[in-house]
Amino acid sequence: MIAVSITRPATDRQIEILSGIADAITAQGYPPTLRQIGERFGVASTNAVHGVLVSLERRGLIRRDAGRSRAIVITPDGQAALAARRAR
């Protein structure tokens, strides 16, 4: 788990990826893999996807279990960020 919190708002791209994760959870009942996230958003490197997830985690928008590949949970702050984006 990442202990550092970032107070800057997430970028539009990060919120777009967060929204895609939420959509996948709604549609499938479980989160996508790094590779699936990359394929959906045109990111060739799973390392780059990992970097986005680390950033989302540092901002408190998701929580992940380091020992599991699909263990992504959208936090209440993440839900609020998605609701704010949809309200625009």
Q: Over 90: is that where the pLDDT of 68 sits?
A: no
In this structure, are residues 31 and 71 in contact, taking their beta carbons and an 8 Å threshold? Answer: yes
User: pLDDT at position 35, please?
Assistant: 95
* Residue range 7-54, pLDDT digits in tens: 788 999 999 999 999 999 999 999 999 999 999 999 999 999 999 999
CB atoms within 10 A of CB 59: 22
Average of pLDDT values for 46-64? 95
Query: What pTM value is reported for the model?
Result: 0.87
Tell me, which fold does domain 12-87 have in CATH? Arc Repressor Mutant, subunit A (1.10.10)
